[in-house]
Amino acid sequence: MKGIFSALLVPFDENGTIKEQGLREMIRQNIDKQKVDGLYVNGSSGENFMMTTEQKKDVFRIASEENNGQVKLIAQVGSINLHEAVDLGKYATELGYDSLSAVTPFYYPFSFEEIKYYYETIINETNNKMIIYAIPALTGVSMSLHQFDDLFQNEKVIGVKFTDGNFYLLERLRKKYSNKLIYSGFDEMLIYGAISGVDGAIGSTFNINGKRAKQILSLCQEGNVSKAYDIQHVTNDLIEEILDLGLYQTLKEILKMTGIDAGVCKEPFEAFNPDKLEKVRKLVSTFDL
């Protein structure tokens, strides 16, 4: 379960329908070209929170079929509808997913006891492993070291996807929990996570730039931080441009230029402005994507 995991993008048509063939191509591209160690299915990058339950199940099924046991699969099942989270967790478990993951429940200011109940319910009902998905910038949920201590007491909680810039907390977690998996969540900060000893990383840009992410992680593990920095700088030149142009839309346009039917983003994400296509073309050639 270690290494670089692509947070799988999902291709949609203009009506918000999943483009199944495009999704299969996307999975192949991640496994065959980016050589990722695993896929994080139905995360933020998969536009998960905008899909129907049936669509989420379709993505889990298609990813499992297309992967056919090649790389590790993590199913993100989190939802503020706990019944949906459990239903998805059972479905992904039956499909053989290696672990579940769930975003902290968001929108309402849930107490920590409620958050803990949410994770325990998903774990008990599915009998699968759980990776906490902590992304305070989007959920507003910042958990303390003591709250992680509490969640980590459950042996089914095998780790955390740490999409946070709080490197003090990351260091404390790493020192205390050598037995838990810690995944870095911000691709542009991968090197700092890698220096702190994360086990891996989960990110959206790995769909197109997974090979560089693998290099950053392994160079840090070998102690060659200076070379890792060189690659992080190139990576961040790319990510900066992508964030300026619009994250998920641009990733999909890049993939289309490399022959993948990556579709469009779900509304209300705005459509990609075709005036910017020339900039995308330049990224593909400059960064050899």
Q: Which residues bind ligand SI3 (CB under 6 A)?
A: 7, 40, 43-46, 138, 163, 185-188, 203-205, 239, 247
**CA angle, 250 then 213 then 103, to 5°:** 70
Comparison of 130 and 146: residue with beta carbon closer to ligand SI3: 130
- Residues belonging to the binding site for pyruvate are 202
Q: Rounded to whole angstroms, how far apart are CA atoms 171 and 49?
A: 30
Beta pairing, strands 99-103 & 181-184: unpaired
Nearer to ligand SI3 (CB atom), residue 126 or residue 235:
235
Token pair listed for 169: 């907390």
What residue is closest to ligand SI3 based on CB? 43
Of the candidates 55, 46, 127, the one whose C-alpha atom is nearest the C-alpha of residue 84 is 55
Residue 141 near residue 134 (C-beta atoms within 8 A) = yes
Specify binding-site residues: 44-45, 163, 185, 187-188, 202, 204
Give me the least distance between CB of 43 and ligand SI3, in Å please. 2
In terms of C-beta density within 10 A (0-12 exposed, 13-18 middle, 19 or more buried), how is residue 28 classed?
middle
Q: How far is the CB of 175 from ligand SI3 (least distance, A)?
A: 23
Residue 113 Cβ vs ligand SI3, minimum distance, rounded to whole Å: 25
Q: How far is the CB of 22 from ligand SI3 (least distance, A)?
A: 17
Catalytic machinery residues:
133, 161
For helices 145-152 and 167-176, angle between their N-to-C axes, nearest 10 degrees: 40
Residue nearer to ligand SI3 on the CB measure, 81 or 124: 81
Identity of residue 60: F
- 205 or 249, CB closer to ligand SI3? 205
Binding residues for aceneuramate: 44-45, 163, 185, 187-188, 204
